[in-house]
């Protein structure tokens, strides 16, 4: 598979939903496959909170492939023998696109907490500018899970003539209090970490030892991404063999798993970026800027395909079902699939075999 990572630099201002301006800004993106002559074979893939532009394939030295490698590639559900796939890193992230630790224009100092709050709508607008700069004015499909699904839905509402189809997985029409409450654990843990220092830390300050606040907050996130059934199956009540049962800080296997994964994560993900992206997720609401959710959804012209997961404890299936029912009442083209899964929210990243055929069938029909 032909894999390339590129950076686009924009000097024209990006007018944000908050009224602030981001200027200049960069977007890092990755492409797979070959763009045809009339640029009519494009699929845009959108990433979730902790994701990046690296959605598939491997670079030399990579320990693991991109986060949706099982879906993207020659002969896979998102077939790069047929489609030219673009995956861009959202603004606010820490993987190359302009974010809070990027240097301000005419300064060597990072934005830090002077970086403007960005929303999912802003992320989508920036990606539209990227695609326009590449001479791409329509796409075959926009696909994403979780925050990526939010972006796909926002594209469908804000730019109704841009995509032929939308495929949103494990997402919602508006972030609910349950999800915001989980995110609050991470926000407060990061803010109260002394080394966070109100955002005044040096670049790569946490590369070696990680950010304790982010690690703790990520534990809460991890719990929301899984489900009771998946935890029971994976860990049961197993105790770490080298830890004493009656040691105060002796651990069960589930505790060790949380420590290992969250500590590693806190070394590679910038805590300020985490705060900004969580803010974007918390403020997501398809109806904002329109008279109502019905008014927003009524704008959609793309064939809209919604996929939820039965065990999702973060964005519940009924949230996607509500959108599906609205599309049905409006007579809009849609499909809705609730996947029988006990894995939890992260099923969209893990249990690909339960839904890859759905995506494959949708794309074959384009």
If asked whether residues 167 and 73 sit together in one domain, one would say yes
Q: Is the pLDDT of residue 38 over 90?
A: yes
- The confidence score (pLDDT) of residue 108 equals 83
What number is the average pLDDT over the span 216-223? 94
Is 60 within 8 Å of 43 (Cβ atoms)?
no
pLDDT tens-digit readout, 64-79:
999 999 999 999 999 9
If asked whether residues 68 and 101 sit together in one domain, one would say yes
Peptide bond preceding 24 in cis form (omega within 30 of 0): yes
What number is the average pLDDT over the span 35-58? 97
What number is the average pLDDT over the span 334-352? 97
Q: Is the pLDDT of residue 154 over 90?
A: yes
Q: What is the CA radius of gyration of the chain?
A: 20
Q: Is the pLDDT of residue 61 over 90?
A: no
Contacts of 287 (CB under 8 A, 6+ apart): 173, 174, 293, 295, 296
Distance CA 201, CA 255 (A): 29
CATH of the domain at 294: 3.40.50.1820
Which among 280, 306, 324 is the end of a domain? 280
pLDDT tens-digit readout, 12-21:
999 999 999 9
Distance CA 138, CA 283 (A): 27
- The confidence score (pLDDT) of residue 241 equals 95
Q: Is the pLDDT of residue 63 over 90?
A: no
What number is the average pLDDT over the span 37-45? 97
Distance CA 105, CA 56 (A): 32
CATH of the domain at 186: 1.10.1740.110
- The confidence score (pLDDT) of residue 322 equals 98
Helices (H), the chain: 120-133, 147-158, 177-191, 212-225, 228-235, 253-268, 271-282, 293-298, 317-330, 347-350, 356-364
Q: Structural domain tally of the chain? A: 2
Per-residue pLDDT band at 2 (split at 50, 70, 90): confident
Check 122, 227, 345, 346 and give the catalytic one. Answer: 345
Check 102, 146, 227, 273 and give the catalytic one. Answer: 146
- The confidence score (pLDDT) of residue 1 equals 81
If asked whether residues 36 and 77 sit together in one domain, one would say yes
Domain with 228 in it: 179-280
pLDDT tens-digit readout, 17-35:
999 999 999 999 999 999 9
- The confidence score (pLDDT) of residue 332 equals 98
Q: Is the pLDDT of residue 106 over 90?
A: no
If asked whether residues 185 and 320 sit together in one domain, one would say no
Q: Could you identify the residue written with the tokens 């973060």?
A: 314
Check 305, 312, 341, 346 and give the catalytic one. Answer: 312
CA atoms within 13 A on the CB side of 315: 31
If asked whether residues 292 and 269 sit together in one domain, one would say no
Q: Is 146 a catalytic residue?
A: yes
If asked whether residues 16 and 148 sit together in one domain, one would say yes
Here the contacts of 294-298 (C-beta below 8 Å, separation 24 or greater) are 294/326, 294/330, 296/157, 297/157, 297/173, 297/323, 297/326, 297/327, 297/330, 297/332, 298/330, 298/332
Work out the number of other CB atoms within 10 angstroms of the CB of residue 214. Answer: 28
If asked whether residues 200 and 168 sit together in one domain, one would say no
Tokens of 197: 């220092």
Distance CA 83, CA 43 (A): 7
If asked whether residues 326 and 214 sit together in one domain, one would say no
Which among 280, 315, 335 is the end of a domain? 280
The answer to whether the Cα torsion of 221, 227, 230, 234 is positive or negative is: positive
pLDDT tens-digit readout, 289-337:
999 999 999 999 999 999 999 999 999 999 999 999 999 999 999 999 9
Across the chain, what does the average pLDDT equal? 96
Work out the number of other CB atoms within 10 angstroms of the CB of residue 203. Answer: 11
If asked whether residues 243 and 150 sit together in one domain, one would say no
If asked whether residues 171 and 219 sit together in one domain, one would say no
Alpha-carbon distance values, 162 to 97, 113, 127, 364 (Å): 23, 34, 12, 19
Which among 280, 305, 335 is the end of a domain? 280
Distance CA 82, CA 76 (A): 10
Q: Which of 106-110, 143-147, 309-313 has the lowest mean pLDDT?
A: 106-110
What number is the average pLDDT over the span 226-245? 95
* pTM listed for this prediction: 0.97
If asked whether residues 262 and 293 sit together in one domain, one would say no
């Amino acid at each position: 598979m032909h894999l390339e990572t590129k950076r686009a630099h924009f000097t024209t201002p990006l007018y944000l939903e908050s009224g602030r301006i981001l200027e200049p800004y960069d977007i890092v993106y990755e492409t797979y496959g070959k763009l045809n002559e009339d640029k009519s074979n494009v699929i845009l893939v959108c990433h979730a909170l902790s994701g990046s532009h690296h959605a598939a394939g491997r670079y030399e030295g990579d320990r693991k492939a991109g986060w949706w490698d099982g879906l993207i590639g020659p002969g896979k559900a998102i077939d790069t023998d047929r489609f030219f796939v673009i995956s861009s890193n959202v603004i606010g992230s820490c993987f190359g696109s302009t974010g809070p630790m990027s240097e301000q224009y005419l300064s060597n100092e990072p934005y830090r907490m002077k970086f403007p709050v960005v929303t999912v709508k802003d992320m989508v607008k920036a990606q539209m500018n990227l695609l326009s700069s590449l001479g791409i004015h329509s796409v075959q499909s926009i696909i994403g899970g979780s925050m990526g699904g939010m972006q796909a839905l926002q594209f469908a509402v804000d730019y109704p003539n841009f995509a032929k189809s939308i495929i949103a997985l494990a997402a919602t029409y508006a972030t609910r209090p349950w999800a915001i409450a989980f995110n609050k654990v991470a926000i407060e843990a990061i803010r109260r970490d002394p080394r966070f220092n109100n955002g005044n830390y040096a670049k790569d300050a946490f590369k070696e030892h990680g950010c304790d606040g982010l690690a703790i907050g990520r534990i809460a996130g991890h719990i929301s991404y899984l489900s009771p059934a998946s935890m029971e199956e994976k860990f049961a009540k197993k105790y770490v063999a080298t830890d004493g049962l009656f040691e105060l800080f002796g651990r069960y296997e589930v505790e060790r798993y949380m420590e290992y994964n969250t500590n590693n994560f806190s070394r590679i993900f910038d805590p300020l970026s985490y705060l900004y992206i969580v803010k974007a997720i918390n403020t997501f609401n398809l109806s904002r800027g329109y008279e109502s959710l019905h008014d927003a959804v009524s704008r959609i012209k793309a064939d809209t395909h919604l996929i939820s997961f039965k065990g999702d404890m973060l964005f519940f299936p009924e949230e996607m079902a509500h959108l599906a029912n609205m599309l049905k009442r409006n007579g809009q083209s849609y499909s809705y699939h609730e996947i029988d899964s006990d894995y939890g929210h992260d099923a969209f990243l893990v249990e690909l075999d339960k839904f890859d055929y759905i995506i494959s069938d949708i794309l074959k029909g384009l």
